[in-house]
Structure 1
Amino acid sequence: MPYADVIDVPTRGGLQIVRDHDGDLEGNTASRQFGEVRVCLLEGGPREMIRPGRLIERTDGEYLRVCRLLAGEAWVFQDGRHGVARGSQLICYDSTRPYKVVMPERFRMVALLLPHRLIGLTSQGTEPLTAKPWHGSQGLGALMSRLLVGLERHGEEVETAIDLLGDSVAGLAAALFAERIRSVADESDVGKQALMLNVQSFVRERLADPGLTPMTVARRYKVSLRYLQKIFHEYGTSPARWIRDERLARCKAELSDPGLDHLPIALIGERSGFYGASHFSRLFRDRYGITPREFRKRG
């Protein structure tokens, strides 16, 4: 699955590129998908990338972009503030709100695109993270900074278990964001976000367990089932639906993996907690409009 080259063009996907500095505007991006996580490489001459609110649509998808400069520097403007990142530093901006990113000189940058649901944050919950650089030389920030460099250099060498790699990247990012938010958010908000992140990590590690239910999760974290449902409701879902969708998403990713073609479809379901081939097939068809067998045949 090699990187695919894409040439930047004005207003591509609601993104406007405005020439405002000396130097060549030409550049290109390359991207690679790891499950639901995407890694992009952007390089080129000085530029500005602007996305005004009028060009943002709900269908664009909700994700947080984490950037790590390999050369040059980036100025990120969002949520009424701006930050400058260079070297091993990390900086974020959110796709659901207007932003501007300026590269004042030739640059090379790797970026991680994380869907909100994978990191346990709503679009509003990312506001404390945007346009604020943080160190990439210590703690969790250092792990993420090095990971992005490694994915940029060696991403094409990953052959199997791509969805699991994506989950691992999302888990590390979630831990990093929780640490960041803890220093700036209200205690009540931190508690909710920390619970959501912990629950998501707990569930993803136990998808194969048929006894995994909202009640077992609530008991594990010593909260009432009603409170757990309230937290998930703020994210537009329920604990039961989220667990089911995570299981189905894992099955879908494994059915797409050529390295797992030798596994029977029923076993793919069991690896994510669906015991009973007909039950798994029905849930998969209800979610994706196609049976697991038909999905695998389509490649």
Structure 2
Amino acid sequence: MLHVDVRNARQIVVHQKMAAQSRGCVQIVRDHDGELEGTTASKRFGEVRFSLVEGGPREMIRPSRLIERSADRYLRVCRPLAGEIWVFQDGQHAVARGPQLVCYDSSRPYKVIMPERFRMVTLLLPHRLMGLTSKDTDLLTAKAWHGSQGLGALMSNLLVGLEQHGEEVNTAIDILGGSVAGLAAAFFAERMRSVVAEPGVGRQALMLSIQAFIRERLADPDLSPVAVAQQHNVSLRYLQKIFHEHNTSPARWIRDERLARCRSELADPGLDHLSIAAIGERSGFYGASHFSRLFRDRYGITPREYRKGRGVTLAG
């Protein structure tokens, strides 16, 4: 059973009032990445999913009995456009109103209540893409983050912009998704540092910063684990250790990010004037045969075949 820690009488009364208002409009969330009831628009940008959700008073519950430990985990970041969002998770609670941001984690029980008619935009972000684990995210969940200054303002405005113009974006989808993930990673790193200064927290914040650094420099032929370690003032061994915690290595992560960007550019008709070799070079792969071999090893198809098929399903 989901336990909600509400710390004073006023909040208890408000909570009961909201529960009464939303009776008959309760969604039991069964999937880690399940679509929310009331979604009127949804679009994927690479591995990031954007949704616009609206409706009347509602309550969403994710009980522990429905959570599969082996499934992929996600953070959902919400930005209210109208109404309020109440999030209860990890013994904490938060109320968010525009332009604030609030998030919850699919891998642990939660309750989300909208006490009145609402409209909100959300981002669904895989843990793996963010370099986070379920253990790390309890520093981020059920907290209302400011959305009027700094990285918080950029994130808040990005969500509003996606709501207004997301459907108009039809090219470079994976690249946009990577940029959204990079901004989210930088925002989370800042939030984690502001919450508590512990070695584990510092390590995860460092991981997020490193991933954002790499994504910005994929075209640089000199990008390497050694260069990344030097830039962040850590040893190569320590860099390998923090990537190992996420079942990968710095070199593999750099390679996979480069290949994902190439895949996006090969799928973009606006870049058909570029040769296969040029597409590879734009992401740091020099030598067409080398690029083609890596792409085939990763996706089971050559870059030329993928461009020709335009939209075929890839492995991985």
Tell me the TM-score range normalised by the shorter chain: 0.7 to 0.9
Matched with 1:14 is: 31
Aligned partner of residue 183 in structure 1, secondary structure: helix
Matching residue's letter, 2:279: I
Q: Which amino acid aligns with 1:271?
A: R
* Residue 263 of structure 2: aligned partner: 252
Q: What is the rounded CA distance, in whole Å, between the counterparts of 2:229 and 2:149 in structure 1?
A: 34
- Displacement of 1:242: 0.8
The structure 2 residue matched to 1:84, chosen from 92, 95, 115, is 95
SS at 2:121's partner residue? strand
* 1:169 and 2:174 correspond: no
Change (3 A) 1:105 1:265: same
Contact preservation (8 Å) 1:84, 1:133: yes
| Structure 1: distance between partners of 2:61 and 2:255 | 38
Written as runs of structure 1 = structure 2, the 5 A alignment for 1:87-236 is 87-236=98-247
Q: Does the C-alpha gap of structure 1 residues 161 and 232 become closer, same or farther in structure 2, counting only changes over 3 Å? A: same
Counterparts of 2:278 and 2:30 in 1: how far apart (Å)? 39
Partner of 1:297: 308
Identify if the C-alpha distance between structure 1 residues 86 and 222 changes in structure 2 by more than 3 Å, giving closer, same or farther.
closer
- TM-score of the aligned structures, taking structure 2 as reference length: 0.82
Per mean C-alpha deviation after superposition, the further-off stretch among 162-171 and 77-86 is 162-171
Q: CA deviation at 1:69?
A: 0.7
Runs of 4+ deviating beyond 6 Å: none
Cα RMSD of the aligned pairs, angstroms, is 2.4
Q: Larger deviation: 37-46 or 282-291?
A: 282-291
The TM-score, its normalising length taken from structure 1, stands at 0.86
Q: Which amino acid aligns with 1:184?
A: V
8 Å contact from structure 2 (residues 38, 55) kept in 1: yes
2:90–2:141 Cα contact (<8 Å) kept:
yes
- Deviations 1:155-193 (CA, angstroms, capped at 9, x unpaired): 122243333322222222222211211122333123312
2:195 counterpart SS class? coil
Q: Tell me the residue number matched to 2:56.
A: 45
Change (3 A) 1:58 1:284: farther
- Between the aligned partners of 2:241 and 2:69, the Cα distance in structure 1 is 24
For residues 82 and 216 of structure 2, the distance between their equivalents in structure 1, rounded to whole angstroms, comes to 36
Q: Distance in 2 between matches of 1:218 and 1:10?
A: 45
1:60/1:253 Cα in 2 relative to 1: closer, same or farther (>3 Å)?
Answer: farther
Mean CA deviation greater in 155-164 or 38-47: 155-164
CA distance in 2, matches of 1:111, 1:182: 23
Describe the shift of the 1:9–1:28 C-alpha distance in structure 2 as closer, same or farther (beyond 3 A).
Answer: farther
Q: Which position in structure 2 is the counterpart of 1:20?
A: none
Checking the alignment, whether the CA contact within 8 Å between 1:163 and 1:253 is kept in structure 2 is: yes
Aligned pairs for 1:57-76 within 5 A: 57=68, 60-76=71-87
Q: Give me the whole-angstrom Cα distance separating, in 1, the residues matched to 2:125 and 2:51.
A: 11
Partner SS state of residue 128, structure 1: coil
**Identical residues among aligned pairs (%):** 76
Unaligned runs of 5+ in 2: 1-24, 311-316
Aligned residues: 284
Could you list the runs of 5+ residues in structure 1 that have no partner in the other structure? 1-7, 18-24
Alpha-carbon distance between aligned partners in 2 of 1:209 and 1:232, rounded to the nearest angstrom: 21
Cα shift at 1:209: 2.3
- Looking at structure 2, the residues matched to 221 and 141 of structure 1 have their Cα atoms a distance apart, in angstroms, of 23
Deviation at 1:288, TM superposition (A): 1.6
Give the conservation status (yes or no) of the 8 Å contact 1:119–1:174: yes
2:279 counterpart of 1:268:
yes
**Aligned partners of 1:277 and 1:193: how far apart in 2?**
36
